[in-house]
Structure 1
Amino acid sequence: MKEPDWVEHAIWWQVFPLGFTGAEKTATAEPAEPHRLLDLVPWLDYVVELGASGLALGPIFASETHGYDTTDYFRVDPRLGTEEDVDTLIAEAHRRGLTVLLDGVFNHVGRSFGPFQEVLAHGPAADAGAWFSLQWPEGAGPGDEPEYRDFEGHHHLVALRHDEPAVADFVVEVMEHWLARGADGWRLDAAYAVPSSFWGEVTARVRRSHPDAYFVGEYIHGDYAAEVEAGGLDSTTQYELWKAVWSSLNDANFYELASAFERHNALLAAYAPLTFIGNHDVTRIASRLTHAALLPHAVVVLLTVGGTPSIYYGDEQGYRGVKEEREGGDDEIRPVFPPSPDDLSPLGRPVFALHRELIGIRRRHSWLHRATTEVLQLTNEVLAYRVASGDDALVVALNLSHEPQQVTAPGAREVLAGEATIDSDADSAEIPAREWAVLGPRSDEDASA
């Protein structure tokens, strides 16, 4: 499976729309604001300024609460707006050269989902009963409730039966409907809980009419490359690298990150993983790190290793937020954003500038998308690696120690970002204490710049 050509240049800005726009926490037919999705339009130029090339949206379809309990896949959540608002947002994004990724929850549904309500109303005789894994009490009839398979113990999330042909037909119809309205691809929520054979059938059918659609599955364990191949997917979320980044920085243990690079290289041989250091499900990187001075090191890794990077809204401003395992525990990591970029605190400007600088390097070196990583120098507190694709290469150096460090830097002639003093005769560079650097050939030597 070859991913669409445009994905080579993709850098996502991920937004959780219900949080971003300050929508009500639960479904309502009369929201306080009827067109909140349009609140994102003033931020599209900001996305372009950042250097990202795509807008990855969290759930926008009608749901009961947080968006992952979908009730109507053909209807925009009234708390966010209308189908016409989606059309406007997509059109405005495309006008700026931004692609749009939708979030599809096809493993489970909310209890108010139409076919499940049919089951509750008509009992075992309901035609839609085949959509779910049900166990009826003896003598059950209309109005009785069955036991049913749910999603990981969340009883309000009703799992779909993916061996039921009608479910596959439905998911294909949903995907094609929104791709026809201009969406460019789908993030597949909880893809790991769905048989890869289901994804394989669905993606093959959808690609017949939308060959340039992009499909990235949420996977947190398993044989990622095998799932991609069997499911006809383009990518998976790279949680292994995410964990290794913040953990190695907190523990001053670059051996963990170096090990993760080996696994990441193996995945890159098959596909380009979706890389991230923050998303809507995890504690923000600025809160996860124990030392604020190490935030740039995490951003450097994200934007220099192979893959398709995704930046979670607010991370580029240094936002903080801790995920808690309780009701409402995601609220802090899914915050309301101000009406426009002009309303952001100036405290976030240095972090924004860092992201913009590193994204600029990545966009000038698009080969980084499938580049592999070779460790050049490794101690607990010092890591130098060469990231390369064919004849193109950069050297990245990270120093966690409180002393300057000399690192191996073959071919380095220019500091592209960060702080370093290069000794080109010795193919080395000195990195100041607690600093980092991205090093490359001189601009006139770099044909890809």
Structure 2
Amino acid sequence: MRIYNLFPPLAGRLPDWTPHLERAAALGFDWVFVNPIQTLGESGSLYSIADYFSINPTLLAPDSPLAPDEQVRAMTTQTERLGLRLMVDLVVNHCAHDASLVREHPEWFVRDGDGVAHPFCVEADGRKIVWGDLAQFDHRHGPDTEGLWRYCVSIVEYLIGLGFRGFRCDAAYQLPRPFWERLIGRIKERHPETLFVAETLGCSPEQTRETAEAGFDAIFNSAKWWDFHSPWLLDQYEATRRIAPSIGFPESHDTERLFAESDQNPQAMKQRYLFTALFSSGVMMPIGFEYGFRRRLHVVETRPEDWEEPAVDLSDFIREVNQIKVDHAIFHQEGETQQLGHANPAVLLLRKRSGQDGSRALIVLNKDPWNRQHFHADDLSHLLEARPIEVSPELGPERRGEPVAAPYSVDLEPGMARVFVSEPSG
């Protein structure tokens, strides 16, 4: 899965999405993920949904002769014509505190004294953050969990009817495993091609594994934050890779913009995109990453007027990396991944071995996004445990696939990588 995150508040009204969808297709993505599109509560947060069966009016064209649902279907039809499939957020851990559901079905909510409970999280420093604009659904102990489950199934069916073919399940780890097993199983009986991706960031490794085992087609990983050295990322990956594929990202709507974080270094942007794309079977990036946007996406405050003038244009590089994922199965599969030692500590050596077709890959990455680093190997075939060919993005399509000489030496540009594969013939 190569996913482009179109953030609705930045993209504007549905008819204005066209150039963004066309750009996603041209960049080599095969999925477009959109954050919630339903009517919101008084806080205006995208994740505070007041009505699951009506469309956020700020996304609609007021002069369109089409009804709201038909406007969405026109967009999804156009997206499919571009060769893309659409994924949307499924938010069923909570709803807006002012949603009519709170009055109509008080039995569906966790209670806190005389009112409904609000979701919360505990930060690393021990601070408790409460989302007062949200009401917490009770999927575990409520008197009518069956009725609530059926309601959630109807939400999914509604969104499928609008043309969505996949779901990013917000706060998936907060809901019990049996809920997801039943819901995913029911939907796949009726719509076998539907995909479910679990948001698992911020939870423990045990919670991630438990959630992944509920039948999800993929989970998100934490490759964005890896320091290219510590063992935790490969440990987490090994714990789940046989259960569900994972998706990496260089930034998301929940993080700061990488261009701002990296002191406006385009080499750091390329480095992290290439790594997250080739480390795991899936990759996702948000709208504006390709242009080095600095302003963080905000679930309440972002507006179309926040569109920025491009500071850089990484389109060609992103397209090349995405094409490498398409062309070489090892990069859209999960497999055993090992970090190898090297004399230069500023160079990462990562070896992947497919458990499906015997293919292998070696990524030689400059960890330093500011300075060149030298890499030398007497024979790359000893590192890859197979005869390598080079498929690095900077080679261009006309030179990819050339055999690699021994010994091999290269000065790696800041943050850049050389990529090698070995694939079974025929």
In the superposition, the TM-score normalised over structure 2's length comes to 0.82
Aligned mates of 2:49, 2:169 — CA distance in 1: 13
5+ residue gaps, structure 2: 61-67, 121-129, 382-386, 397-401
Sort the Cα spacing of 1:66 and 1:279 in 2 relative to 1 into closer, same or farther, 3 A.
same
Q: CA deviation at 1:290?
A: 4.6
Corresponding residue for 1:359? 322
Task: Give yes or no for contact 2:247–2:280 (8 Å, CA) kept in 1.
Answer: no
Task: Give yes or no for contact 2:15–2:75 (8 Å, CA) kept in 1.
Answer: yes
Corresponding residue for 2:225? 243
User: One-letter code of the match for 2:326?
Assistant: R
Say which is worse superposed, 302-311 or 364-373, in terms of deviation.
364-373
- Picking from 347, 353, 363, the partner of 1:396 is 363
Post-superposition CA distance 1:29-79 (Å, at most 9, x none):
xxxxxxx11211232221111000111010100102022110111111111
1:192 maps onto 2:173 in alignment: yes
Post-superposition CA distance 1:328-364 (Å, at most 9, x none):
68747x76576xxxxx856432x12111111111111
1:431 maps onto 2:404 in alignment: no
Aligned mates of 1:335, 1:447 — CA distance in 2: 49
Corresponding residue for 2:209? 225
Corresponding residue for 1:387? 352
Q: CA deviation at 1:102?
A: 1.0
- Picking from 376, 379, 384, the partner of 2:340 is 376
User: One-letter code of the match for 1:46?
Assistant: R
Q: CA deviation at 1:382?
A: 1.1
Q: CA deviation at 1:88?
A: 0.7
Corresponding residue for 1:166? 147
Sort the Cα spacing of 1:423 and 1:201 in 2 relative to 1 into closer, same or farther, 3 A.
closer
Q: CA deviation at 1:370?
A: 1.7
Task: Give yes or no for contact 1:268–1:307 (8 Å, CA) kept in 2.
Answer: no
- Picking from 194, 209, 231, the partner of 1:213 is 194
Aligned length: 383
User: One-letter code of the match for 2:315?
Assistant: F
Post-superposition CA distance 1:145-196 (Å, at most 9, x none):
x322111111210001113211101000110122133210111111122122
1:79-94 equivalences under 5 Å are 79-81=58-60, 82-94=68-80
CA RMSD of superposed structures (Å): 2.8
Corresponding residue for 2:127? none
Corresponding residue for 1:53? 30
1:254-403 equivalences under 5 Å are 254-256=228-230, 259-290=232-263, 292=265, 293-322=267-296, 331=301, 336=305, 345=309, 347-349=311-313, 351-372=314-335, 373-378=337-342, 380-389=345-354, 390-400=357-367, 402-403=371-372
Question: Sequence identity, in percent?
Answer: 22
Aligned mates of 2:388, 2:416 — CA distance in 1: 14
Aligned mates of 2:299, 2:45 — CA distance in 1: 11
User: One-letter code of the match for 2:364?
Assistant: A
Aligned mates of 1:346, 1:369 — CA distance in 2: 30
Aligned mates of 1:381, 1:406 — CA distance in 2: 10
Aligned mates of 1:290, 1:261 — CA distance in 2: 27
5+ residue gaps, structure 1: 1-9, 22-35, 119-127, 137-145, 249-253, 339-343
Task: Give yes or no for contact 2:73–2:163 (8 Å, CA) kept in 1.
Answer: yes
Aligned mates of 2:340, 2:8 — CA distance in 1: 42
Post-superposition CA distance 1:12-34 (Å, at most 9, x none):
1012202321xxxxxxxxxxxxx
In the superposition, the TM-score normalised over structure 1's length comes to 0.78
Corresponding residue for 1:147? 115
Corresponding residue for 2:54? 75
Sort the Cα spacing of 1:405 and 1:262 in 2 relative to 1 into closer, same or farther, 3 A.
farther
Post-superposition CA distance 1:275-323 (Å, at most 9, x none):
1111111111222225713222111101211221111111122222347
Q: CA deviation at 1:98?
A: 0.5
Corresponding residue for 2:65? none
